[in-house]
Structure 1
Amino acid sequence: MMRKTLSISVLVFFFSWLGQASIAQVSVPLPGSKVLEDLNMPSKILGKPVNFTVYLPEDYDTSTRRYPVVYLLHGYSDNETGWVQFGEVQEAADRAIANREIPPMIIVMPDGGVTWYINNHDGTVRWEDMFINEFIPFIDKEFRTRPKKEFRGISGLSMGGYGSLILSMHHPDLFAACAAFSAAVWTDEEVKAMPVNTRGGLFEDIFGTTSDKTLLTDHYKANSVMHIVGTRPKADLEKVRLYLDCGDDDFLYKGNSSLHILLRDRQVRHEFRMRDGGHTWSYWRTGITDGLRFIGESFHR
């Protein structure tokens, strides 16, 4: 396997193409399951509707049972349709449920824009507040979820991998498990080494900046997965089961590997996978079932 070290200066290029599909064999959903698209929730916090897509398992319309729920987050420049259109999550979930690899579950895919799924530094865009205080309660009301921590998971890719980690670390009382794919996490040294135009284009609106033009603001540190793992008590970090998966040719491999090492050094239980592949939909398609299985196992604990 070849490990490619990509220049951070082309990072924007990769993020801008997250929504592009690669050629893959077309699979057909099993009869009965459905994907509801073009849904939205009015948000007072954001002052605009939040679009979302929902996967419902095969027996949802023919039963009265309640289901565990997984929130599945998209990457930078994508939207709430990406995991269905390019990630083929309906087909993956159908197969895994039919094979009894995962329990029947509801999968909710909200549109996170380019918010990084948090509140920005000046409070003008409060996506995290919306998600916690409006969106999750809305989903629990509108769909037959099992509205408890023990039956709620979160996952995502790239920006969404970061989002799944940071939301589960900020709110460990709400999630049983987190499965992060190719999570957009960096060490402080990587952030400081980023070209100024890269930092500004991707992050400054979210994290702010400092007089020396780095991103290492107080808001950045409060929302840095690495800082949280390095400073929070081990018992708190283990309140949510963690699963990390990143390709060996992914330009985010260093941050993901560093996160794994830090978790190991602190003796925090977690699962880490580094498979052959890059920052591509073909990689995430082949990994999503294992991520859902990991989360599904948490629902049985």
Structure 2
Amino acid sequence: MKKLTLTVLSVCFSYMLIHAQNYENLAPEGFDQYQADISHGDIDTITYESKTVGNTRRALVYTPPGYSKKKKYPVLYLLHGIGGDEWEWYKNGTPQIILDNLYAEGKLEPMIVILPNGRAMKDDRAVGNIFDSLKVQAFSTFEKDLLNDLNPYVQKNYKVYKDREHRAVAGLSMGGGQSLNFGLGNIDQFAWVGGFSSAPNTKAPSELLPEPEKAKSLNLLWVSCGDADGLMPFSKRTSDYLNKHKVPHIFYIEPGGHDFKVWKNDLYKFSQLLFKPLDKSKFNQYSVLGMPAETNIGSNAYPQVLPDHRVIFRTKAPDAQQVQVDLSGKYDMIKDEEGFWSVTTDSIGPGFHYYSLLIDGVAVADPASETFYGMGRMASGIEVPFAGGDYYALKDVPHGEIRRKKYFSPVTRSWREMYVYTPPGYDESEEDYPVLYILHGGGEDERGWVMQGKTDLILDNLIAEGKAKPMLVVMPDANMPGRGFDEAALKQFEAELKQVIVPLVEEEFRAVPDAEGRAMAGLSMGGIHTLYSGVQNTDFFSSPGVFSSGWIQGMQEELANSQYEFMKENSDQINGNLKNFWVAMGGQDDIAYDNCQMMMKEFDQIGIQYKYYEYPGGHTWPVWRDNLYRFVQLLF
């Protein structure tokens, strides 16, 4: 018995460590236990005539403690699942106990709760094949029964408010799908909508909310699901769509599967929010758990990204003395009895971020996550969902290909590698394509724009929308052996580019073989290469793009001055040859910001024509993805 108790305590301790700041977002122990010494509401059965079904139907009604016919109440319609009826919540979910306890604690607005039968057909019992098409269709038919028969009956026989501000609908599983379908389909009737573990009957998001702007008038839109529930994809796709269209909602992810332990907790949390003023700006702080990051390997549950962009990390290192996460700062992890270390970070900016685990001071990649070559080594990476990231989402559009090309370079006297994006239809076409040569930053290599940059998805989507011309994108290795940012390295890469890479591309791919068909861009170190090779060779490249870069003060001043002198002497040629000279920064948080501002002042004095763009986010891949997205739309 003692060993069992210790095991239970260990599991509970582990859970509390993982969820630290989110533990209060679960119902407390005993929330669903009957208490004899408090006031209780009443449960009654009602019958109403249903013109929709053509017979008399039944529902249960919960009236709160102290219910009075002299005052008006708001109404919550609480719907059951596919295998239940009007008794399912009462028998398995004990709403009468949960709500009584909340009233006793002063946490609930007095309300009437209707527990209807959501299977709107004459034989509405949950018997036989509950998945029969007629029985499933009856759940859809219930929308008319609810709005045209049941709700009018409730308004006639109970002292209830008749406006949408005092009417809510929520349900579990099939009833969760009904609640989202009915609530979002009738926003003029419901101001409070909750879907608990919503089932496949939930309409596709674009059908559910063809005009997302209207849903912003809802007082509360709640979408919840257990983390181990196989129906999670239906809740997530709804939340993703709402995020995309900036519709305030609570996406509440909790531990558990498809059962009443989850749904009781949902009712406990959801009911406390009803019919009260709410701060929608705090909706993303309610969730207990997050979704596994899309950069996780296989079925690893952690790292998890919470709706407010905090990240939960968990790793097993039983022999370690100290474990930290290095992600936009260092976070100390806490060890449990089983050797798992856990921590929840602060809110992290959206998009892609490198991170490492520091185990007793040694930086290592997280074995649960994808790794990327960055920071001069292999490091873990995490994607934090971004509402504006639709432009690099995987969509049902024609897709190009990423091709890997190895070659021997007589410039470096070594085997090297590049990646080449070919647009959709390249192999079937006979036309020549313009080419963008795009370069990575320091500490990265030719994989950067492929893996971290999502170049293929950005181009696929833009080409499908007709916003970018089909083009080849060449992503070479811009690192020169044993060199950094000095002029020798810049000259060597210029030779590599002009003597090896471009000729090879134009020989082996159908590429436009002139300056009009060539553009060059790069981020950080790649931006410096672009400033050197692109501006020095305006008869070779017609459009240079400089992302998060500029001549480095205190390190490249002599080199920069020689470049400014060259540009001054050749300003007419440069301005005449270049179609687009595009400079972009990640706002004032970008480590290259000051360098860039100094450089542009020199450009202005010389009379060099360029366009400047800022996208806030610092010196990071979210900025550079956006830069690529905008730059390619200007080309060719």
Q: Give the TM-score category using the shorter length.
A: 0.7 to 0.9
SS at match of 2:437: strand
**CA pair 221-251 structure 1, distance change in 2 beyond 3 A:** closer
- Find 1:167's aligned residue among 528, 533, 536: 533
Residue 232 of structure 1, CA deviation = 3.0
Partner of 2:403: 36
Give the distance between the partners of 1:285 and 1:266, measured in 2 at CA: 30
Comparing both structures, which one devotes a greater share of its residues to helix? 1
Partner of 2:546: 180
TM-superposition CA deviations, 1:229-288 (whole Å, max 9, x none): 4x3332133122310000121011011112222222333221001222200011111221
Residue 117 of structure 1, CA deviation = 8.2
- Find 2:590's aligned residue among 225, 241, 250: 250
- Find 1:97's aligned residue among 459, 463, 466: 463
**CA pair 116-179 structure 1, distance change in 2 beyond 3 A:** farther
Give the distance between the partners of 2:623 and 2:377, measured in 1 at CA: 12
Give the distance between the partners of 1:263 and 1:216, measured in 2 at CA: 15
**CA pair 279-216 structure 1, distance change in 2 beyond 3 A:** closer
Counterparts of residues 137-286 of structure 1 (less than 5 Å): 137-186=503-552, 190-191=553-554, 220-221=559-560, 225-226=563-564, 228-229=566-567, 231-238=568-575, 239-240=577-578, 241-248=580-587, 249-286=589-626
SS at match of 1:278: coil
**CA pair 161-221 structure 1, distance change in 2 beyond 3 A:** closer
Give the distance between the partners of 1:169 and 1:153, measured in 2 at CA: 11
> Do 2:437 and 2:521's aligned partners in 1 also have CA atoms closer than 8 Å?
yes
Stretches of structure 1 that go unaligned for 5 or more consecutive residues are 1-14, 192-198, 200-214
One-letter code aligned to 1:157:
L
Counterparts of residues 29-178 of structure 1 (less than 5 Å): 30-37=397-404, 39-114=405-480, 115=483, 120=488, 126-178=492-544
> Do 1:18 and 1:76's aligned partners in 2 also have CA atoms closer than 8 Å?
no
Residue 68 of structure 1, CA deviation = 0.3
Residue 184 of structure 1, CA deviation = 4.2
Partner of 2:32: none
> Do 2:550 and 2:599's aligned partners in 1 also have CA atoms closer than 8 Å?
no
The answer as to 2:383 corresponding to 1:23 is yes
SS at match of 1:79: coil
SS at match of 1:126: helix
Give the distance between the partners of 1:63 and 1:140, measured in 2 at CA: 16
**CA pair 19-157 structure 1, distance change in 2 beyond 3 A:** farther
Partner of 1:209: none
Residue 85 of structure 1, CA deviation = 0.5
Give the distance between the partners of 1:181 and 1:47, measured in 2 at CA: 29
Comparing both structures, which one devotes a greater share of its residues to strand? 2
Give the distance between the partners of 2:536 and 2:378, measured in 1 at CA: 27
Structure with the bigger RCO (C-alpha within 8 Å, sep 6+) is: 1
SS at match of 1:173: coil
Report the identity percentage.
24
> Do 1:155 and 1:161's aligned partners in 2 also have CA atoms closer than 8 Å?
yes
One-letter code aligned to 2:497:
F
> Do 1:116 and 1:160's aligned partners in 2 also have CA atoms closer than 8 Å?
no
The answer as to 2:606 corresponding to 1:290 is no
One-letter code aligned to 1:235:
D
Give the distance between the partners of 2:633 and 2:467, measured in 1 at CA: 6
Give the distance between the partners of 2:439 and 2:592, measured in 1 at CA: 17
> Do 2:398 and 2:464's aligned partners in 1 also have CA atoms closer than 8 Å?
no
Give the distance between the partners of 1:221 and 1:269, measured in 2 at CA: 18
SS at match of 2:403: strand
Residue 159 of structure 1, CA deviation = 0.3
Give the distance between the partners of 1:184 and 1:17, measured in 2 at CA: 21
TM-superposition CA deviations, 1:102-149 (whole Å, max 9, x none): 10000000011255688627x9x8332121112211110000001111
> Do 1:46 and 1:127's aligned partners in 2 also have CA atoms closer than 8 Å?
no
**CA pair 258-181 structure 1, distance change in 2 beyond 3 A:** same
TM-score w.r.t. length of structure 1: 0.75
TM-score w.r.t. length of structure 2: 0.37
Give the distance between the partners of 1:145 and 1:118, measured in 2 at CA: 31
The structure that has the greater radius of gyration is 2
One-letter code aligned to 2:596:
N
SS at match of 2:633: helix
Give the distance between the partners of 1:84 and 1:274, measured in 2 at CA: 23
Aligned residue-pair number: 250
Give the distance between the partners of 1:216 and 1:252, measured in 2 at CA: 15
Give the distance between the partners of 2:557 and 2:623, measured in 1 at CA: 31
Give the distance between the partners of 2:501 and 2:485, measured in 1 at CA: 12
SS at match of 2:383: coil
Residue 221 of structure 1, CA deviation = 5.0
**CA pair 163-31 structure 1, distance change in 2 beyond 3 A:** same
**CA pair 50-292 structure 1, distance change in 2 beyond 3 A:** same
Give the distance between the partners of 1:149 and 1:43, measured in 2 at CA: 23
